[in-house]
Amino acid sequence: IVKFYTIKTIENICILTKVSKDYFADNENYILKILNVYLTTNNQELKLSAISTVSQLLRHNPSLIKYFLEKSHMLTDKNIFIKEVDGVKQCLINCLLYAIVGDSTSLKYILPKIELLTQVLLSFSEKCNNVIKVKIILLLGFFMVEQSIILKFGEEILIKMKKFRMDKNKEVHV
């Protein structure tokens, strides 16, 4: 209970204020401790709050992406999106998006495994809700700065983008 409310408080501070940028996101200590909670808890509410807090820390300090990627196994576990609930999946994608949008050089930490991650995201995008699909397409758009991604997956990514654009679902067009 104490862990949950502590992390929830940090999450709310990160979402609502810029104080967290100077206090919680200034070094890797908080992100590593919160990632540890995310990786070790079986409580789904605590897990969601922890990964949401991590995404907010990355929003404030994109350079923390290297610690997130090392600890989260996102670049090595092909099943990471299969075994998580939708809220956690969305936060995991937000972690990558916040880091890349906040600092495009963050992509260098993803490059060693970008093909595997692209393949996982493409296959997963067929089985997720529309909000996650759109975030995946945004993320894949950022990945397309890498030549190997364009050559290997470019056509598939562009077809998915076109399909989402043509979709009549209002969520996709918001």
Q: Which long-range contacts (CB under 8 A, 24 or more apart) does 45-48 make?
A: 45/4, 46/3, 46/4, 46/7, 47/88, 48/85, 48/87, 48/88, 48/91
| Inter-residue contact 99 to 54 (CB < 8 Å) | no
Two tokens at 155? 């056509």
Q: What is the pTM of this model?
A: 0.87
Question: Using one digit for the tens of pLDDT, what is the confidence trace for 66-94?
Answer: 999 999 888 888 788 788 899 999 999 99
What pLDDT, in 10s, does the model give residues 112-146?
888 888 988 988 888 888 889 889 989 998 998 88
Q: Does the pLDDT of residue 172 top 70, yes or no?
A: no
Structure confidence at residue 153 (pLDDT):
87
Report the chain's mean pLDDT, rounded to a whole number: 88
- pLDDT attached to residue 35: 96
Asked if pLDDT for residue 36 goes beyond 60, the answer is yes
| 54 close to 13: Cβ distance less than 8 angstroms | no
Output 139 or 21, whichever has higher pLDDT.
139
| Higher local confidence (pLDDT), 19 or 6 | 6
